[in-house]
Amino acid sequence: MDRLAGPELDLRLREFLSEDVGSCDVTTEATVPAAARARGVLVVRSACVVSGLPIARRVFELLDPELIWENELPAGSRAPAHATMAMLSGHARAILTAERVALNLLQRMSGIATATRRFVEAVAGTGCRILDTRKTAPGLRAFDREAVRDGGGVNHRDSLGDMVLIKDNHRRLAGGAAEAIARARRAAAPGMTIEVEVESEEDLQEALSAGADAVLIDNQTPATVARWCAIARAAARPPSIEASGNMSLGNVRAYAEAGPDAISVGALTHSVVAADIALDLQVSP
């Protein structure tokens, strides 16, 4: 599920709204006249990479189908501090009731896109891609994955059914990498990628001998990654190479220069720092 759209998106957003509103927005209904209209701007308080504006717009539209939405910044663009991300106008009650859900998604997605862009820029020129992981908040994976793309990153597998990724526990329970790969070849759909996590040179050699399509070098130093990349590339059937494990902006370039095709960064989505975005409203005639 790379993208949410149409009825599927609306269903998810209505669930979010229902969770937030409860029985009713008692404050708004008590204080704001039913006929009142408002206009406002979504303002960036600190610089970020834009992601999630169409989704935020849809949140507002679900409560006000007549909403006017203008001057939306493009996804993936840089928004400097104090920039206007979009302008909106419509029924005041609807805008106020939808505000929190819209901002929660917009702030999270723009935060992920901003973090992703920093990692992408940190490895620029190396040819190494930045990947996300399945370390997402339940129910928000499609939103998080879109934000990673907006930041210039690349999505890894969306679900457990997309590819085989044999990790340490799989290896142990199967009796080793070779046996795990053999079982996966028999069970997986034809052409499905089989990736194996390796934590030692012995693991690597076993994965290469068994014909793994990809290897994941986890929790190793850049020097070890470079040595294992050289070994893997010299194989009769070289696999694609991914590195992972405690990646940070301070060390990711050293890992990229070690030679992997991609680096996966769980922090993009499991440790989100929300972008600082606000909705400023005024009474509209």
Do 196 and 177 touch, CB atoms closer than 8 A? Answer: yes
Q: Which of 100, 119, 97 is nearest to 108 (CA)?
A: 100
Pairing of strands 37-44, 78-79: unpaired
Choose the catalytic residue: 37, 78, 100, 118. Answer: 100
The residue from 25, 195, 197, 206 that is catalytic is 197
Which is catalytic among the residues 14, 78, 118, 135?
135
Cα–Cα distances (Å) from 224 to 139, 154, 168, in that order, read: 37, 24, 18
Backbone angles phi, psi at 243, to 5 degrees: -120, 150
Q: Is 186 a catalytic residue?
A: no
d(CA 49, CA 151): 7
End-to-end CA distance of the chain: 42
Q: What is the DSSP letter of 270?
A: H
- State the CB neighbour count (10 A cutoff) for residue 7: 8
Residues forming beta bridges with residue 129, ordered by sequence position: 262
Choosing from 93, 218, 242, 253, the catalytic residue is: 218
User: Quick check: is 237 catalytic?
Assistant: no
Taking CA 128 as the corner, what is the angle to CA 225 and CA 268, rounded to the nearest 5 degrees? Answer: 95
Q: Which one from 12, 167, 183, 185 is the annotated catalytic residue? A: 167
| Residue 154: DSSP 8-state | B
199 is catalytic: no
Please identify every residue annotated as catalytic. 100, 135, 167, 197, 218
